[in-house]
Amino acid sequence: MLRICIVITFVILMMTAGTVTANSIIVGAGDEANYATIQKAVDNANEGDVILVQPGSYMENIDISKSLTLMSQSGNPEDTIVEAANNQDHVIHVSSDSVNISGFTVMGGIKNTTMYKGGIYIDEASNCIIQNNIVSNNGNGIYLFYPAKTIFW
């Protein structure tokens, strides 16, 4: 009987060890929003979290330095727009592996095509997925600096 209890305890401990859950964080002006800005949500997110952005226009430059998913709540890039607050810089800068970005219009980044900036800047990051986005009116639409296994569609 003691042996069965030990085995059951061990199995339960093994099943719960290392269990990690991703949180969903909502950005927007609505009552259900956790944050008003995307950058504030990114700063407060944990690795693996999902940031859902409500439809609207967001004037900001976003730096992502942790693995997470950033996606529009509607999935329609035409109703969730991120425009650079500082048009002398990138709109979204990704410097972490395993970042997913989906469902945005990204515009207004630096217009100088000789600089490593623009709409979305993937900075030595691997295994990123950039999908279902409209990237326009930037010097470089999506700039890849030594990426590995990054997927766009």
Reported as a pLDDT band with limits 50, 70 and 90, residue 87 is: confident
Q: Residue 106: inside a domain, yes or no? A: yes
Give the confidence band of 61 by pLDDT, cuts at 50, 70, 90: very high
Highest mean pLDDT among 14-28, 69-83, 126-140: 69-83
* CA 81/CA 75 separation, integer angstroms: 12
- Provide the number of structural domains found in the chain: 1
Q: How far, rounded to the nearest angstrom, does the alpha carbon of residue 123 sit from its chain's CA centroid?
A: 14
Question: 6 lies in a domain?
Answer: no
12 inside domain: no
Q: Is residue 39 part of a domain?
A: yes
Q: CA-based angle 75:94:76, to the nearest 5?
A: 10
Distances (CA, A) of 105 to 4, 17, 93: 58, 40, 15
| CA 118 – CA 111 distance, rounded (Å) | 7
Residue 62 within a domain: yes
pLDDT in the model for residue 137: 76
Q: Looking at the domain assignment, is residue 110 inside a domain?
A: yes
Q: Are strands 80-83 and 56-59 parallel, antiparallel or unpaired?
A: parallel
* pLDDT of 13: 46
CATH number of the domain where residue 141 is located: 2.160.20.10
pLDDT level of residue 117 (50, 70, 90 thresholds): low
CA 50 to CA 68: how far, in whole Å? Answer: 6
Q: Does any domain span residue 64?
A: yes
- Using 50, 70 and 90 to split pLDDT, how confident is the model at 115? low
Longest dimension (CA), the chain: 74
- What's the rounded mean pLDDT across residues 73-90? 92
Burial class (CB in 10 A: 0-12, 13-18, 19+), 119: buried
Note whether residue 130 is domain-resident. Answer: yes
Q: Which two tokens stand for residue 61?
A: 């430059």
Supply the pLDDT for residue 6: 46
Residues 6+ apart with CB under 8 A from 5: none
Q: What is the 8-class DSSP label of residue 3?
A: H
Predicted local confidence at residue 145, as pLDDT: 75
Tell me which residue range forms the domain holding 129.
24-152
Does this model's pTM top 0.85? My answer is no
pLDDT value at 147 more than 90: no
